[in-house]
Amino acid sequence: MTKTASKPTFGPDLLDVRVRERFLTNGLLDAKTLEKHLAELPDSESKGEEIGLEQPALFGVDEEEELDEEDEAS
């Protein structure tokens, strides 16, 4: 029976978008490796569906909506 080195199953993946910048900065991930990985990803845009989602923290609250909320509170 031979043992083969396998990828660790615990901890963040080097290509995980949430920790990618840290690994690039620390030299744990090579920019060329990242570019290659991104180039190999399939284009899934056609499978997606756009949804309308209000995010006032990102875009602000409309003045009319803000006035309506104040009126309802009174």
Residue 29 lies in a domain: yes
Residue 28 lies in a domain: yes
Token pair for 69: 């909320």
Residue 74 lies in a domain: no
Residue 54 lies in a domain: no
Residue 2: predicted pLDDT: 47
Residue 62 lies in a domain: no
Residue 30 lies in a domain: yes
pLDDT tens figures, 5-50: 455 556 778 888 999 999 999 999 999 999 999 999 999 999 999 8
Range of the domain at 28: 13-41
Residue 27 lies in a domain: yes
11/22 Cα distance (integer angstroms): 14
Looking at the structure of the chain, the number of domains it has is: 1
Query: How far lies 71's CA from each of 64, 68, 74, in Å?
Result: 11, 5, 5
Residue 24 lies in a domain: yes
Residue 73: predicted pLDDT: 66
